[in-house]
Amino acid sequence: MKYNVARVAQCDSTSCASANYTMVANALNLPVGLRDILRVTHGTLGQAQFWNYLLDKGAKIKCISKNDYRSWAAGGADEWSKKTPEWVYRFFAERSNDKLRSTTALFRKIFKNKNFDFTHRAPSADDLQKLFDDGYALEVMGDGWLMYGDKPKEQLLHRVFITDIDKNVVFFHDPASDGESNHRAKMSDIMAALSVDGAEVVGYKIKDKI
Query: What crossing angle do the helices spanning 47-55 and 34-41 adopt, rounded to 10°?
Result: 110
Beta bridge partners of 123: none
Q: How far apart are CA 54 and CA 48, in angstroms?
A: 10
Whether the pTM exceeds 0.85: the reply is yes
- Name the 3-class secondary structure at 105: helix
Structural domains of the chain, with CATH = 16-205 (3.90.70)
Q: pLDDT tens digit string along 78-127?
A: 899 998 999 999 988 888 866 677 788 999 999 999 999 999 999 999 99
Whole-angstrom distance between the N-terminal and C-terminal Cα of the chain?
14
